[in-house]
Structure 1
Amino acid sequence: MPLFSAGRVPVCRLSTGLIAVLALSACSPTFNWRELRPQGTPLKVLMPCKPEHASRTVPLAGSGTEMHLHSCDTGGLSFAVAWVDLRELARVDAALVEWPRASLASLRLAPEVADAAQARWDFQMPGAPKALGLSVQGTGPQGQAVLMRAAYFARGTQVFQAAVYGPQLPGEVTATFFEALQLP
């Protein structure tokens, strides 16, 4: 399986995702889905709660880079969308390798887990020629088991991460979150 893959999302998949969003928002006050368009990016995402925004400098692809993060917690789950603008295309491939490994380290997992076929899930992002999906179980800061499903993708010099963390990851909730990601 290649490290990165690109592809198209069938129209029926988008329609299914939209139906799921409408069904979830009608039935569940826990997941109050809303569209987010992170400033300075073409990305559109649905967040299930009102996100908070933060930014900080992180070491990525050979230098300090400002990372922007929108995140929120609801229903026992944490949702996050983060991005960086590397300003140089030559740094993108390195960032798409380093960022997933850093995410794994935060869950007390070895960086090599990113290379394991069983840690991968088929994530494709139309408009992003390179994309990677990871689905793993690690350990949280208080020693509890934490599941993470994350997607990493790039367009131009911008690199993105979308992730859901929790003790369990309900399929319909994670599907709604990831299927709604768009790079128009």
Structure 2
Amino acid sequence: MAILLSLHPLLRRCGLAVVLLAGGCAPALDWRDVAVTDGLVIQFPCRPERAERAVRLLERSVPARMSSCDAGGLGWSVTTFDVDDPGRVSETLRHLRGRLAANLQAEESQSRAAEGPGLTPQQEARRLLLSGRSADARPVEAEVLIAARGLQVLQVVAITRGEPVSRWRDRAQEFIGSLRPAP
């Protein structure tokens, strides 16, 4: 019995270590459906914060809504822009693509047409991989979808700073690929 009592504090410390280690193994990503526009949802891997403001796009003030969060080594965001003229949707898609690349001091290492359920077919809608540098000169990579749903333009981004997005590519693609019509 004396041996068991003397081991008790050691067992208690080992038990605490096991609990702490198990907590460190908890998943960093907690996927959940989030409405990003009327009629579209996406699976965010964390609880996004929301912001809304007017931004300047193509010489006009345009309402913009952003949902974003950081988890698992990536920044996750969806920004929607309301375009008031159907003739400006393609131009806005092209502009956002160039503006994002410029902000990241990035070049497109991959680009393909973007299609998906709930999206309006547009020639300028793209899925991209951008590789560049942040304002503080750290390497950045971003998986990006720039697409439209009617007169709403969407910019969906999973971005990493300092380590290659290839380590997270499956999760970034899962995020972007989860954009779909609301049930």
Superposed pair shares fold, TM > 0.5: yes
Distance 2:94 2:113 in 1: 17
- The residue identity in structure 1 corresponding to 2:80 is W
- In the alignment, does 2:38 pair up with 1:41? yes
Structure-to-structure mapping, 1:100-179, within 5 angstroms: 100-109=97-106, 113=107, 118-121=109-112, 123-128=114-119, 129-130=121-122, 131-166=125-160, 167-169=163-165, 170-179=168-177
Rg larger for: 2
Question: Deviating runs (4+, > 6 A) in structure 1?
Answer: none
The whole-number CA distance in structure 2 between the counterparts of 1:149 and 1:121 is 12
- Bigger strand share: 2
Using the TM superposition, give the Cα deviation of residue 156 of structure 1 relative to its aligned residue in structure 2, in angstroms: 1.2
What's the offset of the Cα at 1:28?
Answer: 5.4
* Aligned residue pairs, count: 151
C-alpha distance after superposition, 1:50-91 (max 9, x if no partner) = 101112222224411011100000111000001011122111
| Fraction of identical pairs, as percent | 27
Q: Looking at both structures, which has the greater relative contact order when contacts are Cα pairs under 8 Å and sequence separation is at least 6? A: 1
Question: Within the alignment, does 1:52 sit opposite 2:49 as a pair?
Answer: yes
RMSD: 1.8
What's the TM-score once normalised by structure 1's chain length?
Answer: 0.75
The answer to whether the Cα contact below 8 Å between 1:137 and 1:148 also exists between their aligned partners in 2 is yes
Structure 1: 5+ residue runs without aligned partners? 1-26
| Match in the other structure for 1:69 | 66
Q: Tell me, what secondary structure is at the counterpart of 2:97?
A: helix
Pick closer, same or farther for the CA change 1:122–1:155 going to 2, 3 Å.
closer
- Equivalent residues of 1:121, 1:135 under 8 A apart: no
Please report how far the alpha carbon of residue 155 of structure 1 lies from its aligned counterpart in structure 2 after TM superposition: 1.6
